[in-house]
Amino acid sequence: MQEQSTPLGGRGHVPGTDGLRAVAALMVLVLHLAGWTGIAFDPRGAAPAADVLSRLAVAVHVFFVISGFLLYRPYAAAALAGRAAPPVRAYYRSRFLRIWPAYTLLVLVSLVCFHREVLTEAPRLLRILTLQHIYADGDFPHTRAEPWSAFSQTWSLGTEVSFYLLLPLLALLLHRATAVRRGPGPVLAAFVLAGVLSLLWQVALSAFAAAHEAPTLMWWLPGYLVFFLAGMGLGAVAVHAEAAGGSPVVRLVRRFPLSCWGVALAGYAVLASPLAGGHMTPPSPAQAVVESLAYLVVSGGLVLPVVLAPDSGPARLLSRPVVTWLGRISYGIFLWHMFVMAVALRVAGLEWGEAGLTGFLVLLPLTAAVSVLLAWLSFRYVEEPLRRWNRRRTAPPATCSGDAASGAGGAAPSRVARTR
C-alpha cells in the first residue's frame, strides 16, 4: 500500500504548486514595489528593511524549482516505465504558447507607453521579443534615475526559457540511466554534480560581473541551473516513490512537513544577515557561497512539503480555492505588476525611489488589485484560449504535467541584480 493518497508521480495535478506560485508572485510584487518606492534597493543608501525585503528575490528560485519538478516528472515517469520520452514538438509548442503571447503583449504595451524609441531599433526589439535580452547589456530600457523598466523582471523568463530549451536534452541523457537502474540514484548523483558546477559558476561570476558592470552574466542559465536541477531531483524522487510505494525521503517529509518550512525560514534569516553580504554590495566569494546555498535551502524547503507531501498541512493551506486561483493567473501578476507600478508613479508625479514607506503602503493594495485584474484578463483572453487550443492539438496523454513556473519572477535587473 502506498504511503500517500495523492499521486506524486508523473501524472496528476499538484494543487499546492499553484498556491506556492501565487505566494511567490506576490513576493515579487512586494519586492519590486519596495524598490520603486525606495524602501529597498535604494542606491542612495540602504533603508532599515532593505536586507530583509531584498531577499524576497528568493521567489525566482522557488519558481525555478517548481519548473524543474513539474516539467521533468513526465520524462522521469516515461524512463521508469520504459516508454519513449514525451514528444519534443508538443513540449516546445506548449511552452511557447504558455510564455510568448502574453509576454509579447506586455512588452509591446510597455514600449508604446514608455519607450517608443526601442520600437525603431530592430535588433534590440528582436532580442527583447525573443527573450534573448539577458545576453546583451543595455537591452532593458531604463535610465540612471529610473533603473527599472516596466518589464525588467522578465530577465528571469529569459533564464527559464533557456531551461525549457535544454530540458529535453537533459532528460535524454538521464533517460537510459533511469530506465536501467530503476531507481533515482544515478539521476540524483548527476543532479548533485551539475548543481555543484552551477554554484561554482555563480560564485566565480559574482565578482567579475560587478567589476565589469555586466550584470546580465549573472542571469544566464548556468548560474541558476542548480535550482532547476533541485526541482528535477524532486520529480525523480516523486516518480520513484509512487512506483515503489514510498521512499525514505517522502516518509521524512510527510512526517515533518512544517519543519521544512522552518528550515526555509532559518535560511531566509541567513540571507538577510551579513553572512550572505549586503543587498547593495558585491559579495565576497565566501558570502556568494553562503548566499547561493541559502537560496537553495529556502526555495527547496518551501517546495518540499508541497510536492512530496501533497496531503500535508502546508500543501492543504496552499490548495485553498482563492490561493490556487491566484496561482493560475500568477503569470499575469508577474508580467503586469511592474507596468502598473510605472503607471502609478507617473500619475502621482513621483520619481523612482521617492514615495517612501507611506507611498509603499498606499500603493501596495492598489498595485495588487490592478495587477490581479490585468492578470485575470490576460488569463481569460490570451493564456486560456491558447491553452485550450493546444490541448485539442495534443493527443492524450498530455505531454507535460502542469504549467511550470510560467509566472516566474525575480528581482528586477539593475545595479542590484546580484540578489538573483
- In whole angstroms, what separates CA 200 from the centre of its chain? 20
**pTM score:** 0.89
Q: 279 CB contacts (<8 Å, ≥6 apart)?
A: 40, 41, 46, 50, 51, 54, 55, 416, 419
Comparing CA positions, the residue from 300, 332, 343 lying closest to residue 195 is 300
Q: Are 309 and 315 contacting, i.e. CB atoms less than 8 angstroms apart?
A: yes
> Exposed (0-12), middle (13-18) or buried (19+): which is 37, by Cβ within 10 Å?
buried
Q: How far is CA 333 from CA 42, 97, 155, 379, in A?
A: 24, 17, 15, 10
The DSSP secondary-structure symbol of 212 reads T
Q: How far apart are CA 235 and CA 231, in angstroms?
A: 6
Q: How far apart are CA 186 and CA 89, in angstroms?
A: 27
Question: What's the grid cell of residue 279?
Answer: 543587498
Q: Are 60 and 409 contacting, i.e. CB atoms less than 8 angstroms apart?
A: yes
Confidence grade of residue 112 (pLDDT, cut at 50, 70, 90): very high
* Most confident segment among 2-6, 44-48, 61-65, 310-314: 61-65
Confidence grade of residue 275 (pLDDT, cut at 50, 70, 90): confident
Percent of the residues in the chain that have a pLDDT greater than 70, as a whole number: 81
Q: How far apart are CA 332 and CA 216, in angstroms?
A: 24
| Angle, CA 251 vertex, CA 294 and CA 289 arms, to 5° | 15
Confidence grade of residue 183 (pLDDT, cut at 50, 70, 90): low
The mean pLDDT value of the chain amounts to 83
pLDDT tens-digit readout, 1-32: 334 444 455 556 788 999 999 999 999 999 99
Cβ atoms < 10 Å from Cβ of 348: 12
Q: How far apart are CA 168 and CA 78, in angstroms?
A: 13
pLDDT of residue 210: 57
For residue 334, how many C-alpha atoms fall within 13 Å in the half-sphere facing its CB? Answer: 30
Q: How far apart are CA 153 and CA 28, in angstroms?
A: 9
Query: Is the pLDDT reported for residue 401 higher than 50?
Result: no
Q: How far apart are CA 413 and CA 406, in angstroms?
A: 18
What average pLDDT score do residues 102-106 get? Answer: 97
Query: Is the pLDDT reported for residue 404 higher than 80?
Result: no
Confidence grade of residue 123 (pLDDT, cut at 50, 70, 90): very high
Comparing CA positions, the residue from 303, 301, 296, 297 lying closest to residue 224 is 296
Q: Are 286 and 207 contacting, i.e. CB atoms less than 8 angstroms apart?
A: no
12-21, 337-346, 405-414: range with lowest mean pLDDT:
405-414
Question: What's the grid cell of residue 97?
Answer: 504558447
Quickly list DSSP for 319-353. TSHHHHHHHHTHHHHHHHHHHHHHHHHHHHT--TT
The DSSP secondary-structure symbol of 137 reads T
pLDDT tens-digit readout, 213-250: 556 777 888 889 889 999 998 998 898 888 777 788 89
Confidence grade of residue 262 (pLDDT, cut at 50, 70, 90): very high
Strands (E), 187-335: none
Query: Is the pLDDT reported for residue 373 higher than 50?
Result: yes
Query: Is the pLDDT reported for residue 410 higher than 60?
Result: no
Query: How many angstroms separate the first and last alpha carbons of the chain?
Result: 42
pLDDT of residue 45: 46
Query: Is the pLDDT reported for residue 270 higher than 80?
Result: yes
pLDDT tens-digit readout, 322-341: 999 999 999 999 999 999 99
Q: 371 CB contacts (<8 Å, ≥6 apart)?
A: 29, 332, 333, 336, 337, 340
pLDDT of residue 52: 84
Question: What's the grid cell of residue 17?
Answer: 504548486
Confidence grade of residue 416 (pLDDT, cut at 50, 70, 90): very low
pLDDT of residue 81: 80
Q: Are 409 and 358 contacting, i.e. CB atoms less than 8 angstroms apart?
A: no
Query: Is the pLDDT reported for residue 278 higher than 60?
Result: yes
Q: Which residue has the cell 519548473?
A: 67
Q: Are 415 and 215 contacting, i.e. CB atoms less than 8 angstroms apart?
A: yes
Q: 383 CB contacts (<8 Å, ≥6 apart)?
A: 98, 101, 102, 331, 332
Confidence grade of residue 292 (pLDDT, cut at 50, 70, 90): confident
pLDDT of residue 206: 67
pLDDT tens-digit readout, 55-86: 999 999 999 999 999 999 999 888 888 788 88
